[in-house]
Amino acid sequence: MLDNILDLNGPWFYEPDTKRTVLLRGVNLSGGAKLPNGIPTHAKDGYWVDYDRNVNFIGRPMPLEDADEHLGRIKQWGFNFLRFVIIWEAIEHEGPGIYDTDYIEYIIQLLYKCKEYDLRVFIDPHQDCWSRQCGGSGAPGWTLSLVGLNPSTFQVTGAAIVQNVYENPDTFPAMIWSTNYGKLATSTMFTLFFGGKLFAPNCIVDDLNIQDYLQQHFINAVMQVVHRIHKEDSHLENVLVTGYDTINEPNEGYIELADITKFRDKVDDLKKGWTPTAYQGFLLGSGIATQVEEWDMTWSGPKKQKTVLVDPQGVQAWLSEEDRNQADKVFGWTRSSKWQPGCIWAAHGVWDRSQQTPEKLNYFAVHPKTGEPIEFNHLWMDHIQKFGEAIRSVHSEAILFVQPTVLSYPPEFPSTMKRLAYVPHWYDGLTLVQKTWKNYNVDVIGLKRGKYGNGPLKYARALRVGEKSIRKCFQEQLGTLQHEGRDRVGEYPCLLGEIGIPYDMNRVSPSSSSSYFSTNFIQTVLSYLCLGAFRTSDDEEMINNPASPQNRAMDACLNALEGNLLNYTLWTYVPDNSRKWGDRWCGEDLSLWQRGHDGTNARDIPAIHRPHPRRTAGVPKSIESILATEKQAATFKYSCIPTLDTKHPTEIYVPETYFPAALTSVTVSTGTWEVGEQTDNYWIIHWRPVWSEEACTITLTGVTFNQSAR
């Protein structure tokens, strides 16, 4: 029974009642929460109808009647924490200040279900690329109409690439959705959300600058959930709901852009397909034909392929005056007379529409009054402080899970901000974009931090070849993120909020080899650069084999997490994941679960089934997991420094799959152990080491893959 509050003890999560350290092993529930009922991103029907005011998110990510099945499975897999996804659009889709109380009641009932399965949560107000209409998820459709944007013309004007209106949704390019962060619609919305008072002072609605209007409505929408949880018993607020994530993967939009006619110099920016500069995006958004670069991915990152003419033929991404007036009437907005229809950035003199010339190249990089350089992190920090203050005005003990822009160096946090957890995200970008587990990879964090210098050779220096080298590289990258958080955010826990793998991987033939000069390496590079990978059927037995690319990729990620003793929530668990459409969102397929032909998990990879120290009577020191193969038995080794402060044991979750209780060997360097709990799917070891200043170790030896209870 979950009845202990989760607290903080320096860099660890901690149960003050039992005086034990808690390592959180969790999953995001769920990518499926991003989408309203009946409108997956591959469907055009129902998309952008009546400002998308009448969408329905009740039952997303799962109907309540299915919750026992899915939450029970998550618990059986050994997860003890959920990043619980909610969506601004789901709460406030009908219009500003109109809240969907039925959806909020659904959330409350689903939280009670989580309580039944002892799954603590933190609430994630999720977004990607601002909104569904911008090719992502998050904000209500009316926010775009408020700004004067017209989602029905985003595709032709290059303002966003959206699978719902893509010519053939089946061929929607992998991971291209994230390129929307650099396109007109998303960049405009984030610039206004974080910096509207600086960069769009004429955008006043209902006597508020657009920045204040958007931020207030976002915070107020989340607060509807906070208040509703607060009305329930204190167990739900203080024990089950541990805290709140800040806005998911915040983006700077155009802020800090040094030159609107050039790209940012960012290593991790995904450039794929049409890739306009900010200024080219302004032109296209105003219906003006423009030469635009087309990019694709190579082993060393994005590369320009060619230049193409994109001609919207006069169609604009902005609402006409008549259409904007109609939106104002529908939603009851009163605008300042200074806010003219059309491109906001032309209206603020950033470029001249009549002359088709850029006017203020560094407009978004300097303060408009002082000329001093602008730092996005200051604007982001202002927002999360307001967000945190609002949350704690109701849920006073809430932990604030803070995440800056993706893979960025975090800002220094003021000492006045307390009860924090640092929650960066990290993915193996090469595998994610190419959907292939290769025998080489790149140290992206090292590249971003300037570890390899400048010039084209930096990519060669960052290259890692062979699986052993790749696994070490992953562990070093996550270690860097962890240490940066401790240095800049403070002595608080670090939790990887998102990390995961694509299950719809291509396969390269022949089978991979770790040799740099192997035939396979050359073939892999060739297929990656120009030929395309050789795809085979998504066979369940192939995926669930220890040698499958999915298993190796996931194990490399989990090994990196365990090697740094990190808390984490994997992305993602999608109850209605589809064999054809994956997570049903923008071509992604990262769900741990997919219903197989016989009702079992079609992607039951061995890497997921590993022991985990849930509670430690002391301080964790190291985790080492070795997966079962056809010849090698699974092993698990955990070391900790015990404490005299508690009489409670260290608890270790052990899956029956590769560590059946009847066949597993358990050895301890000190103390005693016993089986504290046992089910058909897992058992819990209670270990009571004798106090020592040195680390104590428990070792488990299970069975081989062929001997396992699969």
Residues annotated as catalytic (active site), given as ranges: 249, 498
Sheet strands (E) in 403-488 = 420-422, 440-442, 463-465
> 101-116 and 67-76 are packed helices; what angle lies between their axes, rounded to 10 degrees?
40
Strands 81-87 and 25-29 come out as parallel
Q: How many residues does the chain have?
A: 710
Separation CA 166–CA 244 (nearest Å): 35
Separation CA 389–CA 596 (nearest Å): 45
Separation CA 341–CA 319 (nearest Å): 7
Contacts of 67 (CB under 8 A, 6+ apart): 110, 113
Separation CA 549–CA 402 (nearest Å): 32
Burial level of 444, CB count in 10 A (0-12/13-18/19+)?
Answer: buried
Half-sphere exposure of 275 (CA within 13 A, CB side): 22
Sign of CA dihedral 470, 473, 477, 478: positive
- Cα 12 to the chain's mean position, in Å? 22
Which H or E run includes 83? strand 81-87
Q: Which of 341, 343, 338 is nearest to 328 (CA)?
A: 341
CB 350 within 8 A of CB 360: yes
Half-sphere exposure of 700 (CA within 13 A, CB side): 35
Separation CA 622–CA 74 (nearest Å): 24
